[in-house]
Amino acid sequence: MAGIIRTDWGHFVGIHGHYNPSIGDTVCRFGVASGATCQVVIDLNRCAVGTCWLVWTDRSVTIGGDSGGPWFYGTYALGIHRGWLDEKEYWYSMSTRKGEVFTPIGTVLSLTGTVLCYDEAPDPNCVAR
């Protein structure tokens, strides 16, 4: 069974792999409330409301209802959407900078003990339907 991700309204792509993004990477997401957007990773270990190891992006266009949506780049899965983070609120800086945060796919798989199924490198735990 190959995994798929929704990248926009009515558009799905097959997953060809996954990786944890790096600072400066372009990453994209789809949220059922706000649609699709691409942003740039600016931090790899932000904390929000008691959850750490979050990837933080350079801007925020998310709205309520987007949580749980996919983060991806092309056909690679990157993570699961959490919400937005306001730098001033959490880090008491002089500027207010909002960015979106997501849990990286490696963390999701590790904490849940699951595997991501895709065609190019099938895991023995993946089964065809």
Residue type for position 35? G
- Comparing 78-82, 101-105, 125-129, the range with the smallest average pLDDT is 125-129
What would the DSSP string read from start to end of 48-104? ETTEEEEEEES-----TT-TT-EEEETTEEEEEEEEEEEHHHHH--SS--EEEEEEE
Average pLDDT for residues 38-58, to the nearest whole number? 87
Instruction: Give me 27's structure tokens.
Output: 């990453």
In this prediction the pTM is: 0.82
List pLDDT tens digits, range 60-87.
888 889 999 999 999 999 999 988 776 5
Contact assessment for residue 26 and residue 42, using Cβ atoms and an 8 Å cutoff: no
Q: Give CA–CA dist 97/59, Å, rounded.
A: 8
- State the burial class of residue 49 (Cβ atoms within 10 Å of its Cβ: 0-12, 13-18, 19+): exposed
Where do the domains of the chain lie, and which CATH numbers do they carry?
Answer: 4-112 (2.40.10.10)
